[in-house]
Amino acid sequence: MSAVPFPKRKVSRAVALEQLKILERTYPRAATALEHRNPYELLIAVILSAQCTDARVNVTTPILFEKYPAPEKLAKASPKEVECIIKSCGFYHAKARNVIAAARDIAERFGGKVPAQRESLESLAGVGRKTASVVLANAFGEPALAVDTHVFRVAHRLGLTTGKTPLDVERDLTAVVPRKKWGLATHWLILHGRAICKAPRPLCDRCPLLALCPTGRALQKNPAQPSGPRRRGMKTKPYD
């Protein structure tokens, strides 16, 4: 049974802007679900959140940060001790190596402070474009739009993008979303993906965007068809 494909064309700019207005009204308190008190804690939490729920990370990080409250402490940690703490987050061998290495670089190369520049952030272990964007937007208030699996799926279903990679999707979204709202738009799309536009089947009957959504309209015409995203998903590893 084949999945419903993403729309082949983007919606008009006028429709896209109206969709964004509705998302903003629907999620007025949009913010990262990862609990943190400073850029260091957010960075480590985002690294741990790869292929793991934010809720699970929020259970894990208080224990981790109680033992390693600063990069200098985590930089000297035993990998086995960190693995024991973060095991429930999955991929704990690699994540332990990455958070220790990132902390070491922060301590040794950046004076113990998480850098606020994309190039420097992406030079840290376990930090790719998405992770850097999350930290820039949420820790430093910089305009940055992060594309995770929810953003990728919802943006395609709404016809905001036809991009094949996260970077393609980011470029399409930043071309239509006002720059000062890039970080917020990330959260609007994530929250909508979790609450309504689920994989594999969206809850279109509850969606405030239904009248403007090409995928929703297609499903109304053919309700028996499954609504998962086209099998051509993100053509990269999970967006880190």
Q: Which are the catalytic amino acids?
A: 130, 148
Q: How far is the CA of 83 from the CAs of 45, 58, 77, 231, in angstroms?
A: 14, 16, 10, 34
Please report the DSSP string for 66-86 in residue order: HH--SHHHHHT--HHHHHHHH
103, amino acid identity: A
Return the exposure string of 33-42: e unless at least 16 CB atoms fall within 10 Å of the residue's CB, then b.
ebbbeebbbb
Rounded-to-integer distance, Cα 40 and Cα 72, Å:
11
Cα–Cα–Cα angle for 66, 68, 73, rounded to 5 degrees? 155
Rounded-to-integer distance, Cα 65 and Cα 37, Å:
10
